[in-house]
């Protein structure tokens, strides 16, 4: 039995470095073992061409896109490829019923037609530096978790600010790794003038919509094209008609050769967050609280939104971006909870933890420090269970629910003392929210969520507004909501205008929406206070667990959890077996689009314009066709990615662009917690399909001419 447990632990210890195709590796800390593994798997370019802080390298072609996605620079004039869903908000903001770029797509045939997006930026990584010693030197014996956190946060901020003080065009950010056991400084340069150049119609970029989201086989052309602009000295600059295309340090070449089963494939991007080191207690809490709250509450909200979006084009355009964002996390939560159960993730975690307990017991130094590690974790997760459950539903129901509450909190927290640029940006963001708000829909959502929250939590977690509903409105939630919206000045920009102009007849704190917002924030603060001690102990013990795992397997090549910093993952292009008797191939073609259109006739998620169907049916794919004359649409690899990797470049062994990562697969949705080598796949859109759409459908051959095409002699 002991041998069996040891083998289980060794194989499933978050399967860290158990397979060469697992891991989100830091480029600034790419050790010899990882470089050698990549070379053995087929990497042809030297590691020095992947990352260098002194010379142009592949990392200089990869950007953080807007802080929520990734992208890749593909031309000397700053063209950036990213996902359609990453550019979705920008496309939506430029769309109207008369010019419906979401439905019909967008093409800029000249630089003057490219559309600015003042809220959008791209971020280039310049270098990374280990600052662990400097950060942890400030931690003193006897500090509790709050004191430790405050001290560390202060020195992290100081180190980051030192960068911008030396060069105002740079941003320094210190991030925690390995649960707060290591700290690295990343130095970035941001460019704030980013313009929309090309977007396919949503029938391409979102083909399959919610139905196909997180699914394989996939046939979605999930891409869009933007361009970075700079001043005439190639330096960052806010939008100006005088700006010129940015000239990058490194341009990613584009491959027309495609891939085969077993082809080497690496992904470079900015994955958001993973919890590979999280304890089994933490996973249970995540499933039952935050995930389940998203499933329950967003399901109610989205059903209302979707009904109205399907009935009116004006609402579809207004709500498209926020529905897309909300539903993506909603379905993700469904998939994560399903995969955790189906793949027995908790059993595997508990087996690893049992082996760690044995090691602690048998190692004198560890036993003295960590004897109560797991009992403390279990106790503190239990102590905050009910409060954490209520808080998860509270946040989804109120802070992520009715948009009137979100608007009131944005206005309440408006900072007039910030930099002029920031103040203007925040003001524009609020105005944009008003532009995309329908009050009747929001009132229906608010009413439905009030009922849903009441049904999901104990009475002690109901905010005071429920007493108002029960006593003044006879328990009728809709009557309360109608009254609130009728009495508040913040339902339209008029109230915002009166506030900004400091209208003496309007007192912001007397507005019922503001009063409600304050009551809700106070309630949330009270929840946090009640959980404070347990939460502090959990943070501390999860950090100790993380460090103990690394000591127990000291010879392992560990990678840190994702934290929105640039990461490299690598592996191979390959299919998989989702269940007994089924085999999934490693690529899809346009034939699948035509088949799905017929199979799902009448379903708006699979509607495609007749002219596009005609183009795909012609079979005339030219230089973008694969070896069999078909048009590949998507492909899969066992690269290790997560949210934030959307738009990440997928490169071949020579560092040439094969496509863009845009999704994971349904069967391995628990991958943020545990990597499953037999199941986990990255779904990418084939760059040849992207180019075909740009040239043949968009008639934008001028963009094709900007690219550095690579093809091997045949």
CB 274 within 8 A of CB 97: no
**661 - beta bridge partners?**
684
**Which of 84, 85, 219, 389 is labelled catalytic?**
85
CB neighbour list of residue 67: distance below 8 Å, 6 or more residues apart: 121, 123, 564
Is 470 marked active-site?
no
Residue pointed to by tokens 């042809």: 44
Q: CA dist 8 to 14, 37, 177, 342, 679, Å?
A: 11, 23, 26, 18, 18
List the one residue out of 414, 439, 418 whose CA is nearest residue 427.
Answer: 414
Residue 233 burial (10 A CB sphere; 0-12, 13-18, 19+): exposed
Q: From CA 136, how far away is CA 696, in angstroms rounded?
A: 56
Strands of 258-370, DSSP E: 264-269
Is the distance from CB of 644 to CB of 270 less than 8 angstroms?
Answer: yes
85 is catalytic: yes
CB 15 within 8 A of CB 566: no
φ/ψ of 633, rounded to 5, equals -110, -55
Active site residue 130: no
Which of these is catalytic: 60, 222, 653, 663? 222
| Number of neighbouring beta carbons within 10 Å of residue 276 | 25
> Which runs of consecutive H residues, i.e. helices, occur in 384-460?
385-394, 403-412, 420-435, 439-456
Classify the phi-psi angles of 181: left when phi > 0, otherwise alpha if psi is within -120 to 50, otherwise beta: alpha
> What is the sign, positive or negative, of the torsion defined by CA atoms of 27, 33, 37, 39?
positive
Q: Which of 202, 203, 569, 646 is catalytic?
A: 646
> Comparing C-alpha atoms, which of 289, 505, 262, 488 is closest to residue 385?
289
The residues that are catalytic are 85, 222, 646
């Amino acid at each position: 039995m002991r041998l069996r447990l040891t083998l289980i632990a060794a194989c499933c210890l978050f399967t860290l470095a158990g397979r060469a195709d697992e891991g989100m590796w830091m480029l600034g800390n790419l050790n010899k073992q990882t470089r050698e593994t990549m070379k053995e798997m087929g990497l042809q370019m030297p590691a020095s061409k992947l990352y260098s802080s002194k010379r142009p390298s592949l990392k200089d072609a990869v950007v953080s896109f807007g802080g929520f996605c990734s992208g890749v620079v593909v031309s000397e004039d700053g063209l950036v490829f990213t996902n359609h869903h990453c550019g979705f908000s920008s496309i939506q903001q430029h769309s109207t019923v008369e010019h419906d770029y979401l439905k019909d797509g967008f093409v800029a045939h000249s630089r003057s037609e490219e559309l600015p997006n003042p809220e959008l930026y791209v971020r280039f990584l310049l270098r990374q530096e280990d600052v662990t010693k400097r950060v942890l030197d400030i931690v003193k014996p006897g500090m509790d978790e709050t004191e430790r956190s405050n001290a560390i946060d202060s020195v992290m901020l100081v180190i980051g600010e030192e960068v911008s003080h030396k060069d105002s065009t740079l941003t320094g950010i210190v991030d925690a790794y390995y649960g707060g056991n290591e700290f690295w400084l990343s130095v970035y340069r941001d460019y704030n003038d980013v313009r929309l150049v090309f977007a396919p119609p949503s029938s391409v970029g979102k083909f399959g919509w919610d139905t196909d989201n997180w699914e394989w086989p996939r046939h979605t052309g999930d891409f869009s094209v933007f361009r970075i602009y700079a001043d005439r000295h190639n330096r960052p600059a806010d939008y100006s008609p005088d700006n010129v295309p940015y000239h990058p340090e490194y341009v990613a070449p584009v491959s027309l050769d495609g891939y085969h089963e077993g082809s080497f494939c690496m992904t470079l991007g900015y994955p958001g967050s993973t919890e590979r080191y999280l304890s089994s207690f933490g996973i249970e809490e995540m499933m039952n609280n935050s995930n389940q709250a998203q499933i329950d509450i967003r399901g109610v909200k989205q059903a209302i939104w979707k009904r109205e979006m399907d009935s009116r084009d004006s609402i579809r355009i207004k709500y498209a971006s926020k529905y897309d964002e909300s539903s993506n996390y909603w379905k993700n939560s469904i998939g994560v909870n399903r995969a955790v159960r189906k793949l027995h993730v908790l059993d595997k975690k508990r087996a690893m933890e049992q082996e760690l307990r044995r090691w602690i017991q048998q190692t004198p130094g560890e036993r003295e420090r960590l004897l109560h590690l797991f009992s403390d974790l279990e106790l503190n997760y239990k102590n905050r269970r009910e409060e954490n459950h209520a808080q998860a539903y509270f946040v989804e129901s109120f802070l992520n629910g009715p948009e009137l509450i979100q608007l009131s909190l944005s206005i309440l927290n408006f900072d007039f003392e910030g930099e002029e640029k920031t103040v203007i940006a925040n003001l524009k963001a609020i105005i944009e929210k008003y532009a995309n708000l329908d009050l009747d829909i929001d009132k229906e959502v608010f009413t439905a969520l009030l009922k849903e929250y009441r049904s999901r939590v104990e009475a002690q977690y109901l905010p005071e507004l429920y007493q108002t509903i029960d006593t003044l409105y006879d328990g009728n939630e809709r009557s309360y909501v109608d009254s609130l919206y009728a009495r508040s000045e913040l339902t339209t920009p008029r109230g915002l205008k009166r506030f900004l102009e400091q209208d003496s007849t309007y007192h912001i704190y007397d507005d019922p929406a503001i009063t409600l917002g304050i009551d809700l924030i106070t309630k949330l603060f009270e929840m946090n206070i009640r959980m404070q001690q347990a939460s502090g102990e959990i943070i501390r013990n999860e950090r100790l667990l993380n460090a103990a795992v690394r000591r127990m397997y000291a010879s392992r090549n560990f990678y840190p959890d994702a934290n929105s910093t640039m990461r490299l993952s690598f592996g191979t292009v390959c299919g998989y077996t989702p269940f007994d008797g089924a085999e999934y191939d490693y690529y899809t073609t346009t034939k699948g689009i035509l088949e799905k259109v017929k199979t799902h006739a009448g379903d708006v998620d699979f509607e495609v314009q007749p002219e596009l169907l005609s183009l795909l049916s012609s079979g005339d794919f030219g230089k973008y066709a694969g070896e069999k004359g078909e048009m590949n649409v998507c492909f899969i690899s066992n690269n290790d990615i997560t949210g934030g990797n959307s738009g990440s470049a997928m490169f071949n062994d020579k560092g040439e662009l094969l496509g863009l990562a845009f999704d994971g697969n349904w069967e391995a949705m628990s991958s943020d917690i545990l990597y499953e080598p037999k199941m986990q796949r990255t779904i990418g859109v084939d760059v040849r399909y992207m180019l075909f759409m740009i040239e043949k459908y968009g008639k934008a051959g001028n963009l094709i001419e900007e690219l550095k095409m690579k093809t091997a002699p045949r």
